[in-house]
Amino acid sequence: MNEEIDDTEFYQQDFTTASEWEIFIARMEEIINQWKTDELNNEAPVQHSGIWEIKTEKITFADFEFDLLLYKKTTEYSDSSESSDENEKQTKNPIDTLYDFELYNANNDAEHSFLSAWYGLDEYYVLASALNIGINTESKIKILLSSAYIVSSSPNCERPIFVQIRDTWQRCYLGVYEGDCIRTNFEMVHLKRGPGHCYYLNGLLDMFKTKIMSPASLDSITVSVQLKYILREFGRYEWKQDLSESENFNVDALPFGVTVEPIHWLTLRATWNHLADNLVMDSEGHSDFDPMTAPKWSCSARMHEPVCLLGDALSAFLNNLEGNTTVYDILGDYATLPSAESNPLDLLTEPAVPTITSLLAKAARRSSKSTKGTPPITESVLVPLLYYLFPDADENPSFPYGGKEDKDTAEKTNEKGMSKNFEEEFKGFKTCTKDSLTWRLSIVLTHALQSLGGVKAVAHIWYEFVQEMRYRWEKSMPIPG
């Protein structure tokens, strides 16, 4: 007898299991609730960017990584009850109905902050690709936008939420906000080439009035206009500074400045704010917007990462501190190893009558000195450097120790407050006395490494410096500085 088998025991589907899409939406809601809790506990945001407080969390959906970001404009409120009420109203409705649309704000430079300038928002969420990969498939756009609609309908989501679509350079967003029983859709259209009438203010105003379709007569529309000019080529005014040459560099100062033009481009803006539309004309045939008559001009600069002489010199100096090569390895035949007679104790123990062995050794050393290689630094450059380190060796020293103090007394008096501030700021730094021998030696070695021949020039300066110090020590001569 065959037993009846209930198919439902084997083919039962559990509809209570959450799908990957539902997990994605739940994760978004969880992050938003956590951020709201952090705000109630007055916890600090993750990062600041200009006038914005930004929080970021990563979400994965369908093996695709997204960033969910919270943008909140920093606003200072006083402790008065009136300001507290205003702050509460601002929090309940992130759309600023009194927003004066800015044509340009230098502090508004965060990645997705232009949404604030376009729509007048102080707080909003952004869902964007974490790997800067464009979302161009229509099905993906619809799924993400549907997720945003569901999250926006949640009572805890009190801010607009935007989804970045298309390629990132296009700055194309779709968004939604639900509040006070009203849904607001933020839509955007990108055209490869705009209609001809939209290139002028009159055509834009006609399209604006057509979209409103008001049966009543419209009040005067307030418009603001900005003309922008970008200067990328500076011609003969482009900044150029050659690297310090060995013949004409300033021996008593470190190299300073940039070698190439640090400004990438200059942006000039001519701005007209809050004009009535019936008082201005801008069409293909005539325009009232002459840049020379603009009431407001502004300028901004985009900077390169410049090649700084001081930064390069100090970086090269620090990179060579860990080298294990000796002066004799670098200079080769030019530098001779110290002989046995150079030991000060040998002067006391050496016999009065020299032996034949010692005489032959001296002759060999003299012959090796006569076959020295070419020095890295020429004598015409080396002598001024040594006179800078040891000015007492020169009959008419150009840089005597302490000579600058009397000369700079007036400047120090005028900058007394600034000097005190520097002394306080640099109190914890380990350094030597200003304009001392160690101070000057550091400057000379930096010049040698930067513009006199690199490591070989540094070894040459150090070799001559040690020889001079040893000579002064043996002859009991004072060491300046």
Q: What is the pLDDT of residue 262?
A: 81
Other beta carbons less than 10 A from residue 69's beta carbon? 20
Residue 271 within a domain: yes
Sheet strands side by side (includes 64-73): 47-49, 52-61, 64-73, 123-129, 161-165, 172-179, 182-186
Assign residue 280 a region: left if phi > 0, alpha if psi is -120 to 50, beta otherwise?
Answer: beta
Rounded Cα–Cα distance for residues 123 and 394 (Å): 71
Q: What is the pLDDT of residue 161?
A: 94
Query: Mean pLDDT throughout 323-328?
Result: 77
Q: What is the pLDDT of residue 370?
A: 41
**151 with 226, same domain?**
no
**170 with 218, same domain?**
no
Angle between helix 437-451 and helix 455-474 axes, rounded to 10 deg: 150
Query: Mean pLDDT throughout 454-480?
Result: 85
Asked whether the beta carbons of 174 and 126 are under 8 A apart, the reply is no
**215 with 105, same domain?**
no
**169 with 279, same domain?**
no
Which candidate, 449, 311, 464, 450, places its Cα nearest to that of 388? 464
Residue 74 within a domain: yes
Residue 368 or 13, more confident? 13
Rounded Cα–Cα distance for residues 435 and 413 (Å): 19
Q: What is the pLDDT of residues 209-238, one digit of tens each?
A: 888 777 777 778 888 888 999 998 887 777
Q: What is the pLDDT of residue 217?
A: 75
Rounded Cα–Cα distance for residues 102 and 117 (Å): 6
Sheet strands side by side (includes 263-276): 222-231, 263-276, 296-303
Rounded Cα–Cα distance for residues 458 and 462 (Å): 6
Residue 109 within a domain: yes
Residues 6+ apart with CB under 8 A from 149: 176
Asked whether the beta carbons of 122 and 89 are under 8 A apart, the reply is no
Rounded Cα–Cα distance for residues 214 and 10 (Å): 63
**213 with 279, same domain?**
yes
pLDDT greater than 80 at residue 204: yes
What percent of the chain stands above pLDDT 70? 72
Rounded Cα–Cα distance for residues 251 and 223 (Å): 59
Residue type, 424: E
Residue 349 within a domain: no
Other beta carbons less than 10 A from residue 389's beta carbon? 22
Rounded Cα–Cα distance for residues 456 and 461 (Å): 9
Q: What is the pLDDT of residues 382-399, one digit of tens each?
A: 888 888 888 888 778 888
Q: What is the pLDDT of residues 95-152, one digit of tens each?
A: 666 666 666 666 666 788 888 888 888 889 999 998 888 888 999 999 999 999 999 9
**Residue recorded with tokens 């109190």:** 427
Q: What is the pLDDT of residue 89?
A: 47
**35 with 90, same domain?**
yes
**145 with 204, same domain?**
no
**232 with 290, same domain?**
yes
**144 with 97, same domain?**
yes
Domain boundary among 186, 208, 225: 186
**136 with 261, same domain?**
no
Count: domains in the chain: 3
What are the CA-CA distances from residue 172 to residues 59, 118, 184 (Å)? 20, 12, 17
Asked whether the beta carbons of 76 and 15 are under 8 A apart, the reply is no
Query: Mean pLDDT throughout 359-371?
Result: 49
Residue 407 or 178, more confident? 178
Domain boundary among 137, 161, 186: 186
What DSSP element (H or E) covers 425?
A: helix 416-425
Residue 50 within a domain: yes
Residue 2 within a domain: no
What are the CA-CA distances from residue 117 to residues 10, 90, 106, 178, 391 (Å)? 58, 17, 12, 20, 64
User: What sign for the dihedral angle of Cα 238, 241, 242, 248?
Assistant: positive
Beta-ladder partners of 272? 225
* Angle of CA points 147, 134, 198, to nearest 5°: 95
**142 with 255, same domain?**
no
Question: Going along 28-87, which residue ranges are E strands?
Answer: 47-49, 52-61, 64-73
Residue 287 within a domain: yes
Asked whether the beta carbons of 189 and 200 are under 8 A apart, the reply is no
* Helix, strand and coil in the chain, % to nearest 5: 40, 20, 40
**377 with 258, same domain?**
no
Q: What is the pLDDT of residue 26?
A: 92
Q: What is the pLDDT of residue 78?
A: 40
Residue 363 within a domain: no
Strands 263-276 and 172-179: unpaired
Query: Mean pLDDT throughout 446-452?
Result: 82
Using pLDDT thresholds of 50, 70 and 90, give the confidence band for residue 158.
confident
Structural domain boundaries enclosing 88: 20-186
Residue 421 or 295, more confident? 295
Domain boundary among 186, 213, 239: 186
pLDDT greater than 70 at residue 41: yes
Which tokens in the block code for residue 83? 């300001």
Asked whether the beta carbons of 239 and 285 are under 8 A apart, the reply is no
Which tokens in the block code for residue 43? 């916890």
Average pLDDT for the chain? 77
User: What sign for the dihedral angle of Cα 344, 350, 353, 354?
Assistant: negative
Rounded Cα–Cα distance for residues 127 and 150 (Å): 14
